[in-house]
Amino acid sequence: MDILNLKKKTIQSDLPPVVTPETTAFNNQSVKSLLLDWNAEEFSYYEKSRTWFLIGGAIFFLVVGYFTITKQITTALTFLLLGLTIYIFSLKKPRKIRCQITNHSISADTAIYYFKEIESFWIFYEPPEFKVISLKHKKPYLPLIQIPLGETDPILVRRSLLQFLHEEEQEEGFSDKMARFLRF
């Protein structure tokens, strides 16, 4: 008889627990509450004129020609591929993405950044061209994360983020400055 009771207890312990409204405990951290929601273009887009393409193409062909003449074929091929990549990306139009701030994360499209992984934030606001949230990751080897603000009020975004993150002034990266200068 003890063997039957033992077998019965083992079978019962393998079953999942019965969940009822009375036994369900809600954890406030697991409940996702939306604080702010907006749509924005994924990056700043600048219309490029025929002159922009002619000047850029001429520079790249001069560089590739120089490296070809000096018999640095690998470098020439690298710059040729770089020029082709820049050309393709210069034609790409931005798509609309959905951005959200919740009580535990900030998201842009399908990327989710949890506040526990972010060290600080800064808002770059230079309308009409440059309006982004810059997030500094706790892992120092990761680059700054930039999330577009679109037409959202930066004061509302700042108030929402200050509840969870430290605000720390950041410098715009050299490559970002150059991209804006070149209207890329």
Domain ranges of the chain: 34-41+97-169, 50-91
94 close to 43: Cβ distance less than 8 angstroms? yes
For residue 52, the Cα-to-chain-centroid distance in whole angstroms is 28
Decide if 130 contacts 169 (C-beta within 8 A).
no
Question: Structure tokens of 68?
Answer: 């070809």
Across all residues in the chain, what is the average pLDDT? 79
Rounded Cα–Cα distance for residues 170 and 173 (Å): 9
| pLDDT interval class at 116 (50, 70, 90) | very high
| Residue corresponding to tokens 């369900």 | 24
The token pair at 161 is: 């983020």
The amino acid at residue 135 is L
CB atoms within 10 A of CB 177: 12
- Examine the pLDDT at 69 and tell me if it is beyond 90: yes
68 band by pLDDT with thresholds 50, 70 and 90? very high
Q: Which residue's entry shows tokens 């004129």?
A: 49
DSSP state of 116: G
